[in-house]
């Protein structure tokens, strides 16, 4: 992260204060450098309207500010808290600071040049008691840190991140964050009968892993049933014997974005010290082609005991998630469960790259997640899970098949497949994030590459101030 917010008193050495300025013809989103009567220089930032959309505009404006400062090699700048408050109170300050941090993200650690870029300090200038600003900025920085962690991990190439090295990275991060980390390796997966994730990974030299990160909670809620957040992490996906076209294979390093988001979520949750216990489970595998790879027509036995006919080895994400769902439910007895996965291209056809697909067996959970998505800008759209869609997955030789054989309703049939591994009485939501997990163009608060989608959404969902868990009857009293 190349931009660092600092809380300071009103006077900043150098006298660069922003936003503010004379009335000049600019449009919302513009960042303009102007001369001041005293011989100084300041940026005029045009935020646009207020309200919920105004909060999103302020976040984007913060990102644009960060990028402008980095492009022009500015090392220290200031923003007056009072000016931001006038646009929407503390919510405006949080949104702008979050945008600064997200827009200042840079991934280039594999380049031979350009490493070690200087950090820009942006001072939040305020009068009186600074403690409330310091606390707010620190919380925002932890959330942004989770987003940056997810982006960095997802952007890593497949020769660097595979299931084994991902588990090592997760264990090291867990140690820094004070989380318990348990790694289930291929031997234990075989012992417990996790045949689905093993099948996906059996064509690779790098065996699969289930990575479990445990945050115990605080206070009266410590030890209560946890919220489980589960992520798909296909560190590379060739499609297996149902081989992808060469153009479709490029970018498959991003098939681990769901798992990367889980690691970012757990980082933020641990630093924010929320009361609710949370467990993050990452299902990691590499789907390759070799003499040992699984094939179409195979019938495999999942950890749940259900037999699955393989009709496409490129519908592998739902297989690793099936075993991860069963494992997480049996081991952690969660109060509710949410999974994030770059699962289907069909969700991009349906929703583009503006919203992720949401499927859930619980209306209250779905509604709470949608509301959090609107507040954070990580928006969702609910898709159906009607029982009739299960007909697409009927198999003559197994309990179900992993792919319907048609593109019809592909996001829905993917969700319906996962639903078969979740008890009806367990609130569960599936987020198909394929469209929103990456961006092909530079955005105000995100450069090209992984977006870290899901981190802010889920942290907002778990945060006490959102009252989302209370809304769906958690925690149990």
Helix (H) / strand (E) element for 420: namely none
> Is 187 buried (19+), middle (13-18) or exposed (0-12) by CB count in 10 A?
exposed
Q: Is 232 a catalytic residue?
A: no
Rounded CA gap, 185 and 152, in Å?
Answer: 24
Residue 473 phi/psi, 5-degree rounding, is 85, 20
Contact criterion met (CB below 8 Å) for 100 and 19: no
- State the DSSP string of 421-432: TS-TTS-EEEEE
Question: What is the strand order of the sheet 227-237 is part of?
Answer: 180-184, 209-215, 278-287, 227-237, 336-341, 428-432, 356-360, 380-382
Contact 344, 433 (CB under 8 A): no
**Beta-carbon contacts of residue 444 (< 8 Å; ≥ 6 apart):** 29, 59, 60, 61, 63, 64, 67, 99, 103
335 catalytic, yes or no? Answer: no
Q: Please tell me which residue in 41, 244, 301, 306 is annotated as part of the active site.
A: 244
SS (H, E, C) 210-262: EEEEEECCCHHHCCCCCEEEEEEEEEEECCCCCCCCHHHHCCHHHHHHHHHHH
**Helix axis angle, 51-71 to 89-103, nearest 10°:** 40
- Closest alpha carbon to 284 in 252, 251, 324: 324
Q: Alpha-carbon distance 99 to 119, whole Å? A: 16
In whole angstroms, give the CA distance from residue 298 to residue 283.
21
Provide the sign of the torsion angle of the four alpha carbons 350, 351, 357, 362, taken in this order. Answer: negative
Of 151, 169, 209, 318, which is the active-site residue? Answer: 318
Do residues 334 and 426 make contact, with C-beta atoms less than 8 angstroms apart? yes
Cα separation of the two ends of the chain: 40
Which residues are the active-site residues?
A: 244, 318
């Amino acid at each position: 992260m190349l931009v660092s917010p600092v809380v300071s008193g009103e006077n900043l050495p150098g006298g660069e204060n922003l936003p503010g300025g004379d009335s000049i013809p600019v449009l919302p989103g513009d960042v303009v450098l102007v001369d001041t009567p005293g011989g100084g220089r300041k940026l005029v930032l045009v935020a646009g309207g207020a309200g919920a959309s105004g909060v999103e505009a302020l976040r984007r404006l913060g990102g644009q500010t960060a990028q402008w400062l980095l492009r022009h090699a500015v090392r220290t700048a200031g923003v007056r808290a009072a000016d931001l408050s006038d646009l929407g109170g503390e919510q405006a300050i949080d949104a702008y600071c979050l945008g600064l941090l997200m827009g200042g993200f840079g991934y280039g650690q594999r380049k031979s040049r350009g490493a070690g870029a200087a950090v820009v300090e942006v001072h939040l200038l305020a009068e009186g008691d600074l403690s409330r600003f310091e606390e707010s900025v620190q919380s925002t920085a932890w959330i942004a840190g989770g987003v940056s962690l997810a982006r960095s991990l997802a952007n890593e190439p497949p020769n660097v991140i595979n299931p084994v090295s991902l588990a090592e990275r997760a264990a090291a991060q867990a140690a820094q964050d004070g989380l318990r980390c348990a790694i289930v390796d291929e031997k234990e997966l075989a012992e417990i009968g996790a045949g689905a994730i093993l099948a996906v990974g059996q064509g690779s030299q790098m065996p699969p892993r289930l990575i479990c990160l445990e945050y115990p909670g605080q206070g009266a809620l410590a030890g209560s049933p946890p919220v489980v957040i589960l992520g798909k992490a296909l560190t590379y996906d060739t499609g297996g014997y149902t081989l992808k076209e060469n153009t479709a294979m490029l970018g498959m390093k991003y098939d681990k974005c769901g798992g990367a988001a889980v690691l970012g979520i757990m980082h933020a949750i641990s630093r924010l010290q929320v009361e609710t216990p949370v467990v993050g489970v990452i299902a990691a595998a590499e789907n390759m082609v070799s003499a040992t790879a699984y094939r179409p027509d195979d019938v495999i036995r999942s950890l749940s005991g259900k037999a699955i006919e393989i009709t496409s080895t490129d519908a592998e994400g739902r297989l690793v998630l099936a075993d991860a769902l069963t494992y997480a439910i049996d081991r952690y007895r969660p109060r509710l469960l949410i999974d994030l996965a770059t699962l289907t291209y069909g969700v991009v056809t349906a929703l583009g790259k503006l919203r992720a697909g949401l499927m859930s067996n619980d209306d209250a959970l779905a509604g709470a997640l949608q509301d959090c998505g609107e507040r954070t800008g990580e928006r969702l759209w609910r898709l159906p899970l009607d029982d009739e869609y299960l007909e697409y997955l009927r198999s003559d030789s197994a309990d179900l098949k992993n792919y319907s054989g048609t593109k019809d309703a592909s996001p829905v049939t993917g969700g319906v497949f996962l639903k078969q591994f979740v008890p009806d009485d367990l609130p569960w939501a599936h987020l198909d994030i394929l469209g929103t997990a990456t961006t092909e163009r530079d955005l105000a608060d995100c450069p090209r590459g992984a977006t870290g989608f899901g981190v802010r959404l889920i942290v907002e969902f778990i945060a006490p101030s959102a009252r989302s868990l209370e809304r769906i009857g958690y925690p149990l009293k």
